[in-house]
Structure 1
Amino acid sequence: MGIKNRIASVDIFRGMTIVLMVLVNTPGTWANVYAPFLHAKWHGYTPTDLVFPFFLFIVGTSIVFSYNNKTTNSATYKKITVRSLKLIGLGLCLGAFTITFPFVKDWANIRFPGVLQRIGVVFFFASILFINFRWKTLLGIAIFLLVGYWLLMGYVPVEGVESTYDRAPNNLANWLDVKVFGTHNYKPDYDPEGLLSTIPSIASSLLGIFTGLILISKQRQKATILFGIGGVLLIIGHVWDLVFPINKALWTSSFVLVTAGWANIVLALIYFMTDVRKIQFGSLFKYVGANAIAVYFLSSFISKLMGQIKVGKTSLHGWLFQNIYVHDFMSVELSSLLYALTVVTFYVIVAYFLYKKKIFIKV
């Protein structure tokens, strides 16, 4: 068995991240959600804001296991490129699909950026960088990306107006998204997976690569090292927050460091329990992690279908929520959470079935 098969914590971490993605993306109603399951309104972060950067982080870690011994030949470049294009294509299809004929939204309403698109772009650049440079160079590149993004966002004026980190027209990232994508953004004035903010998101994956290199190294006390790195990143990120606010929508450099810090700490704890102490833990997450992209895409697609299928004056999603989960004896927030937990349970069962049948859908 290869080393990637022996490090159970990585599969568990990946699966846990996807489970959390599904959980926070499919509440019974967005009008009633417990605060930890919502994104921060702008600056700052909640547990939900950790989910996507955790996935990009583990993408980087997985790159180490997949390409550590790969040569820089045309076949490797082709494999990386094809996989990236598949991810981007799936994201675009998800954004363009509608249930009514001709099953594609009007051109002006199609969102171009997206979660899968960002994963594809980040995977491409992180993989190419990994197979071409040693860790010290990669560290320099990560620092350059984070500091460079800070300087761009903080010191480049927007149409003659001093730049800001607020949600405003003179925010460079927001302004660029509107200029490049126009009506194809998630929101009229910005996109959380926008163009400029993709630069620091590559650094999120590079930080995951460093963790992967530690995991495959002969270093002792790996869990302690990862925990220490996580603590240092958290401190630096929160100090940087004083001048470059932690912000998921902008994917600020402080946000990259803080989320990578938490990712290292969480992975260190899982690694210590599963790979050091050999405690049987998290098998359900491992099942999901084995088909991570497939589970995420399926959950997003079915959620979209259920939101578009009409049942009376509401959608199938709304009808199920109102008629099964909403009761006088519990809060609507709890009902909304129970709906999301039911959805998560369904996809865990699907992932379990695929795993037991040895069906692994690779993108």
Structure 2
Amino acid sequence: MKERIVSVDIFRGATILLMVLVNTPGTWTNVFAPFRHAQWHGYTPTDLVFPFFLFIVGTSIVFSYKNKSVNSATYKKIGVRTLKLIGLGLFLGAFLISFPFIKEWSEIRFPGVLQRIGVVFFFTSVLFINCNWKTLLGITITFLVGYWLLMTLVPVEGVASTLERAPNNLANWIDVKVFGSHNYKPDYDPEGLLSTIPSIASSLLGVFTGLVLLSKQEKKATILMGIGGSLLIVGHLWDIVFPINKALWTSSFVLVTAGWANLILALIYYITDIKKIQFGSIFKYTGANAIIVYFLSSFIAKIMGQIQVGDTSLHGWLFQKIYVNNVISMETSSLLYALTVVAFYALLAYVLYKKKIFIKV
């Protein structure tokens, strides 16, 4: 597009900075409730962040591949980017700062955020370049309904399946059987294998939003508001029988998070692309190097967590020395630390953008 849709860039960048914010508190033991994930069923604002990014991945795929031919060159481009994302994720999961610089094999986590982004990007891209919107809609519905039926009707080793965190939860059971000790937790992984199916649907819903933005429809913001509101209603109704759950990435969770994504994107689109009001430039700068900002934030946080300073880590030492005092609460101190980290990466994104450095993964 000769004229970029500014709201998409802003949404992408804001989502990345929110991911940095919720992933780097001063201390995990003192975090305000909205910045925590739900214990199991239900959702908090923090639970919206990752599905928002998968949603905008789908929207961006529409812009990137709308004119691409279905040939080996296109598949190669998709495949290479997928492998890069998965490789970066595996690197984060295995990295140590000390020799031999890689964790013991049994301690390496195989699933992860970047790995899921890579897999979702691959399937969404391939489906988009090969299917029309009606077929994509059918696939999305099949993924969501099929996952619901699998999770609620398929028994686990002869025991009726449950949606609780238990051995007879199908998604958890598959992750343990396939990945063994290479999971986030001994009994499950929030970026697990089976739950990747509905996460692809999160991205496909973003594709439909991209198609609306590229269409010649008038009142696009109104259309997105209608889509968002409808998804929210259906998602919350589905919650009655298939609870909203990020760890399981339930179908109701997919619809509710995509609903909020459409509503927020519609608002930003109205402000920036319709009313032409200058807004959120720093988010636009971050969105231009979204993956590298997320990777660096995770990588540097990992390093700071491994460097020992006395009886704590460099991360803990900085937090205690600079942010902890007797005037404000520990939760506020923890949030201020996270905001400082966000400000650093926003500044880095600004410098990269102004120097026209765009690191594509």
What TM-score results when the alignment is normalised by the length of structure 1?
A: 0.99
Cα displacement (A) at 1:17? 0.1
Mapped partners of 1:127, 1:338: distance in 2: 38
Query: Counterparts of 2:6 and 2:152 in 1: how far apart (Å)?
Result: 41
Q: Distance in 2 between matches of 1:111 and 1:83?
A: 21
Equivalent residue number for residue 151 of structure 1: 149
Summarize the alignment of residues 251-330 of structure 1 with structure 2, pairs less than 5 Å apart: 251-330=249-328
- Determine which of 96, 99, 103 is the counterpart of 2:97: 99
Q: Name the structure 1 match of 2:58.
A: 60
Q: What is the alpha-carbon distance in structure 2 between the residues aligned to residue 98 and residue 270 of structure 1?
A: 40
Output the TM-score relative to the length of structure 2.
Answer: 1.00
Identical-residue share of aligned pairs (%)? 80
Alpha-carbon distance in 1 for matches of 2:309, 2:228:
48
Q: Distance in 1 between matches of 2:60 and 2:268?
A: 16
Counterpart code for 1:140 = G
1:334 aligns with 2:327: no
Distance, in Å, in 1 between the alignment partners of 2:212 and 2:265 is 12
Match of 1:210? 208
Aligned partner of residue 175 in structure 1, secondary structure: helix
Q: Does 1:171 align with 2:173?
A: no
Uncovered stretches (5+) of structure 2, i.e. residues with no partner = none
Q: Read off the aligned partner of 2:360 and give its amino acid letter.
A: K
Select which of 122, 125, 129 maps to 2:123. Answer: 125
SS of the aligned residue for 1:184 comes to coil
Residue aligning to 2:28: 30
Residue 137 (structure 1) aligned with residue 135 (structure 2): yes
Q: Which amino acid aligns with 1:264?
A: N
* Structure 1 residue 99, shift from structure 2 partner: 1.0
Partners of 1:81 and 1:145 lie apart in 2 by 22
Corresponding letter in the other structure for 1:228: G
SS in structure 2 opposite 1:170? Answer: coil
1:351 to 349, 352, 359: 349
CA distance in 2, matches of 1:318, 1:86: 31
The reply on whether 1:89 has 2:79 as its aligned counterpart is: no
Distance (whole Å) between structure 2 residues aligned to residue 269 and residue 187 of structure 1: 38
Aligned ranges for residues 170-189 of structure 1 at < 5 Å?
Answer: 170-189=168-187
Letter in structure 1 aligned against 2:172: N
SS of equivalent to 2:180: helix
Distance 1:95 1:351 in 2: 24
Root mean square deviation of aligned Cα: 0.5
Q: Please report how far the alpha carbon of residue 317 of structure 1 lies from its aligned counterpart in structure 2 after TM superposition.
A: 0.2
Aligned length: 361
Measure the CA separation in 1 of the matches of 2:185 and 2:350. Answer: 36
Please tell me the residue identity of whatever aligns with 2:300.
I
Alpha-carbon distance, 1:254 to partner: 0.2
Give the counterpart letter for 1:241 in structure 2.
Answer: D
Distance in 2 (CA, whole Å) between partners of 1:109 and 1:270 is 42
Alpha-carbon offset, residue 6 of structure 1: 2.0
C-alpha separation between the residues in 2 aligned to 1:175 and 1:7? 42
How far 1:100 sits from its partner (Å)?
Answer: 1.3
Distance in 1 (alpha carbons) for counterparts of 2:263 and 2:275: 17
- Tell me the residue number matched to 2:236: 238
CA distance in 1, matches of 2:49, 2:312: 30
C-alpha distance in 1, partners of 2:172/2:98?
31
Supply the AA of the counterpart residue of 2:120. V
Amino acid at match of 1:246: I
Q: How far apart, CA to CA, are the structure 2 residues paired with 1:268 and 1:7? A: 12
Q: Using the alignment, how far apart are the partners of 1:85 and 1:209 within structure 2?
A: 22
Quote the Cα distance in structure 2 between the aligned partners of 1:189 and 1:147. 25
Cα deviation, 1:255-280, whole Å, max 9, x if unaligned, reads 00000000000000000000000000
Runs of 5+ consecutive residues of structure 1 not aligned to the other structure = none
Tell me the residue number matched to 1:78: 76
Cα distance in 1, alignment partners of residues 343 and 245 from structure 2: 30
Distance 1:76 1:115 in 2: 24
Q: What is the distance in 1 between the residues matched to 2:341 and 2:68?
A: 38
Equivalent AA in structure 2 for residue 24 of structure 1: V
Provide the rounded CA distance (Å) in 2 between the counterparts of 1:250 and 1:229. Answer: 24
Question: For 1:85-142, what per-residue CA distance to the aligned partner results, in whole angstroms no more than 9, with x for missing partners?
Answer: 1000000001000111010000000000000000000000000000000000000000
